[in-house]
Amino acid sequence: MNGRAITSDLLLGMIPIVLLVALWQALVSFGYAPVTLLPPPGQVFSRMAQQLLSTTFQQEIAATLFRLFAGFSIATVLGVTIGLAAAVNPAVNAVVRPIVRVLAPLPKVALYPALLLLVGFGHQSKILLVTFDALFPILLATYYGASTVEQKLIWSAMAAGTPPREILFKVVLPAAAPSILTGCRIGLVISCIVVFLAEMITSTDGLGHALVTAARTFQAVDMFVPLITISLVGLILNGLLELVRSYLLRGFPEA
């Protein structure tokens, strides 16, 4: 793909977004939607710029990001460890498989009331919820990636005299890396979604709380701002993960 193709792709991709904003503007300008229900895009974006510069809003973002990162990191560490262990050890596999089978499809938001009652209304309950939700995609992707490592690779390493522990870190883990990173990507999007929802349910700060406050006072403009912010946060984090991915997978074909 050359540079010009990328530029034209980008232009093509901008069309639906521009159309959407134009439709939004048109709905307001031609009076189909009252301004109180659907504020014009200009107003929303200027409000957003103003909010991004204010310290209170920055603190909301910081609170959300802290919970998101804490939950996501714990989920990544746990998911990769358990996934690898289940892939290489039959005993662990026998225990983990049925538990994951039961817990993975469980809607974790339903657990949130239990978490609230158990660990309170602070950071912990939200971080735990993010962890629970992001854990399973990462765990399953790790397990899948590690189980499908080519046996020949392992045999070659064994023939070269690598001890089993090192095979795990030098052969299985790198070979499973693309799959693990795909799992992380899904986990990251889920973390964004869940942290926001948890803050909407009960919180005193964070982007989700900002949305609920705006909704209770019928400030339509302020309802759009947190939503656009979380979308931007998701985009930026996804971009960062993409960078990490292309760095970690630099040896892989078409990664």
Partner 1 sequence: MIRRIAPLLACLGLLVAWQLASLALKNDSFPTALEAIRAIPAVLGDKDSLVNFGASLRRMAIGFAAAVVISIPLGLLMGRSRAVASFFNPLLMVIYPVPKAALMPIIMLWLGVGDLSKTLVIFLGVSLPVIYHSFEGAKAVEEKMLWSGAAMGLSAVQRLVRIVLPAALPEILTGCRTGLVLALITMITSEMIARQSGAGNILFNALDMGQYDTVFAMIIIVGAMGIVLDALFERLRARLVRWSEPQFDIPLSFS
Q: Which of residues 87-146 bind partner 1 (CB under 8 A)?
A: 87-90, 93-94, 97-99, 101-111, 113-114, 116-118, 144, 146
69 near partner 1, judged by CB under 8 A: no
Biggest CA pair distance of the chain? 76
14 near partner 1, judged by CB under 8 A: yes
> What percent of the chain is helix, strand and coil (3-state, nearest 5)?
85, 0, 15
42 near partner 1, judged by CB under 8 A: no
Least distance to partner 1 from the beta carbon of 250, Å?
22
Select the residue interacting with partner 1 from 124, 234, 241, 248 (CB under 8 A): 234
Select the residue interacting with partner 1 from 4, 17, 53, 251 (CB under 8 A): 17
Stretch that binds partner 1, among 9-17, 56-64, 75-83, 243-251 (CB under 8 A): 9-17
Question: Contact letters (x/-) for partner 1, 187-216, by CB under 8 A?
Answer: --x--xxx-xx--xx------x--xx-xx-
231 near partner 1, judged by CB under 8 A: yes
Contact between residue 81 and residue 73 where contact means Cβ atoms under 8 Å apart: no
Q: Is 201 exposed, middle or buried (0-12, 13-18, 19+ CB in 10 A)?
A: middle
152: CB partners within 8 A, 6+ apart: none
Contact between residue 221 and residue 43 where contact means Cβ atoms under 8 Å apart: yes
- Site size toward partner 1 (CB under 8 A) is 76
In a 13 Å sphere around the CA of 19, the CA atoms on its Cβ side amount to: 6
Strand, coil or helix: 162: coil
10 near partner 1, judged by CB under 8 A: yes
